[in-house]
Amino acid sequence: MGKQASITTREWALFGLRWMIPLGLLSPFLNSPIAEGNLRTTMIVASIAAVSNLVVLLLLLYGRWSPPLTIFIIGIDVILTIASVIVGGMPLGWIGLIAAMTAGVYFGWEAGLGLGVAVIVGILVSGFMKLTPQVLDTASLALLLMALLVSGPLMALLSHNTVEVVELRGQLQNRGKRAEQVARMATEYMRVVYEMTEILSASKLDPKRVLASAVGFAVDALERVGIDPPLYSAILLFADEGGTGSVLKIARSSASVLPSDTRLAVPGVAGVVANALERQAPMLCHDPAADPELHDFESFGKCNTVLCLPLRSGNESYGVMLVGTGEEDALREMHVELMRAVANQAASSLNNARLFGALLEQRDRLVGIEKAARAQLASELHDGPTQGVAAITMRLNYIRRLIEKKPEAAVDELYKIEDLARRTTKEIRHMLFELRPVALDQGLTSGLQQLAVKMKETYEQNVEIAVDPQCDQLLDAQSTHTLFSIVAESVNNARKHAKAERIVVQMNVQQDALVLTIADNGVGFDVESALAAARDRAGHLGLINLQERAHLVEGLLTIQSEIGRGSRTTVTIPLEILELRKTEEATRKAENESGEGLSAHLNVNGY
């Protein structure tokens, strides 16, 4: 039947116009006697016209209309016109106007003119062969023939704009329907994205909950926008494989993924996974079974379409997200963009969870450092000033008894007590200096030189300082205080435990890093045993505390020592890290100053 055409008022007008054929056939016999033979023949032709029109009615009611069917109806009308002329005479030749006008309306003026000529030929042939019972005079015949010639082109001209309006109206209706569908789809997409944000935000910065929410939501979202199940979803994260490098392992998957797939690992250096990681863009694979890495996963290898999305937030790449379906070419651009939104949100949530975990780790580290510092301060107070004060108390009690028996000997004891009190005072002042060295306001070099002076005054300990003054320009305030505390603790360890006669502190720039070294010529120690003891007993030799402090400034602390050969403690900080910390400090300072200025402005203006 051909391509179906839309039913319009044009088709219904044709249906109504065709009823004129049977009515035109019967009208001449209404006011005149009817011969039985002519009546029978006329009724047969009129019945054929009526039945054909009823068929047209059924086709219109069921919406079964097409251009070939229109040509067929026009052919029937031409046949009925010739039959009417033969049965009722040339005056019924006007019935041919219906076929000519129909051809003009549907197929243009050329078809209307050609069909009019065909009807004229049929009428003239029937008249020439004397097949018709009644002929027209010359004027009437000329008028009929002229009407048949011009009716088709005239209707084509008149209906041209009408057809365009009808087609335009149909196009507008179709576009309106498509726009409505797009609007509904866009609304559903927005709802999906909003729900995804809510779900991932409710993960409470727990990486496991973030991954579970992401894979579950990917499957649910695709089903909601029209992708038929089963669907497969998995998140592969980078993991260290026994020191051989990073590989991608399934960290979380949908329930449809086989358990055996969760134990597999791929390097991520070939196929669609490698392309997605390299280009940092979603990549579609239409033959997963032939992919060098996807075919390892049974669940995704049997899919016909697999989408691979990189999980990246900022400069941090976490892995990839895989979404598979059994349909071929099922994932369109809108589905890819939806999954990109899910992957980006998941990567952002993973990054937030990682930062939150790092923040918690930093908090615990600070708490541990503070706890160790308190324990160390308590130990130093107990071993130093507290012992001195206790000794002074005991000697004063001894002098009180001595005055009663040997007054002349009490004077010597008073001199000893005075010396002990002076030494205890120096130790307390030294401890106060280490807790808050004012000299650090002028830079680390000044603080270390002051430390060396205090060590000489308090403990008669020789400390040599060899620092490149330019290093002070590289350090922010926190790094300056942290490095000072590392030096102070290392020097005290060398004095108390290593019995060192000479301690040397050096700091300079080597290649692309700042290097701080504290070396002594003490008795040395076994580093592994000391670290093990430090883990078992917090604060032992302060080794763990030293490492934690170096970690605060993103530095690396190493300790080298052998029994009888002294020790060397080295802190290395990349210049890139120092530059970044310096920039962050300047930014915070500028923000604080601008905030204080704004507060002062608001206070002045009474806000």
By the 8 A CB rule, do 86 and 126 touch? yes
Q: What are the structure tokens assigned to 211, written together?
A: 């991954």
Residue 605: the pLDDT is 55
pLDDT of residue 369: 60
Span 324-351, average pLDDT: 84
The answer to whether 125 and 74 have CB atoms below 8 angstroms apart is no
Mean pLDDT across 497-522: 92
Model pLDDT for residues 442-487, shown as the tens digit of each residue: 888 988 998 898 888 888 889 999 999 889 899 998 888 889 889 9
Q: What is the mean pLDDT of residues 348-367?
A: 74
- Tell me the three-class secondary structure of 468-503, residue by residue: CHHHHHHCCHHHHHHHHHHHHHHHHHHHHCCCCCEE
Q: What is residue 520's DSSP assignment?
A: E
Round to whole Å and give the CA distance between 304 and 287: 6
Q: Taking a C-beta distance cutoff of 8 angstroms, is the pair 353, 210 a contact? A: yes
**pLDDT score recorded for residue 469:** 82
Q: For residue 86, which of 44, 50, 143, 42 has the smallest C-alpha distance?
A: 42
What digits encode the pLDDT tens for the residues 292-315?
A: 999 889 999 889 999 999 988 877
Mean pLDDT of the chain: 78
- The residue assigned the tokens 């780790």 is 361
User: According to the model, what pLDDT value does residue 242 have?
Assistant: 46
Say if residue 572's pLDDT is above 90.
Answer: yes
Taking the alpha carbons at both ends of the chain, their separation in whole angstroms is: 82
Rg value, the chain, Cα: 50
Mean pLDDT of 554-577: 92
Q: How confident is the model at residue 371 (pLDDT cuts 50, 70, 90)?
A: low
Alpha carbon 440 to its chain's center: 46
- Is pLDDT above 50 for 541? no
Interval 112-161: pLDDT, tens:
788 888 888 877 777 666 555 666 677 777 887 888 788 878 877 776 65
- From the CB of residue 336, how many other CB atoms can be counted at a distance below 10 Å? 17
Q: What is the CA angle 282-283-289, rounded to 5?
A: 140
Range with the lowest mean pLDDT among 362-366, 462-466, 539-543? 539-543
Q: What's the token pair of residue 529?
A: 């045993």
Do the domains spanning 202-359 and 439-607 agree at the CATH topology level?
Answer: no
Burial 340-366 (b: 16+ CB within 10 A, else e): bbbbbbbbbbbbbbeeeeeeeeeeeee
> Domain map of the chain by residue range?
9-174, 202-359, 439-607
Contact 95, 50 (CB under 8 A): no
Residue 223, pLDDT score: 82
- Give the CA distances from residue 201 to residues 195, 214, 406, in Å, rounded to whole numbers and listed in that order: 10, 11, 83
Which pLDDT score, from 0 to 100, does residue 73 have? 81
Cis peptide, bond prior to residue 230, ω within 30 of zero:
yes
Please give the average per-residue pLDDT across 224-252, as a whole number. 78
Residue 508: the pLDDT is: 94
Which amino acid, residue 167? Answer: E
Q: For residues 416-442, b (16+ Cβ closer than 10 Å) or e, as one string?
A: ebeebeebbebbbebbebbeebebbee
Q: What is the mean pLDDT of residues 78-106?
A: 77
Name the CATH topology of 202-359. Beta-Lactamase (3.30.450)
Main-chain dihedrals φ then ψ at residue 352, nearest 5 degrees: -65, -40
**Class of 439-607 in CATH:** alpha beta
- At 216 the three-state DSSP class reads helix
Q: Helix 444-459 to helix 407-435 angle, to the nearest 10 degrees? A: 160
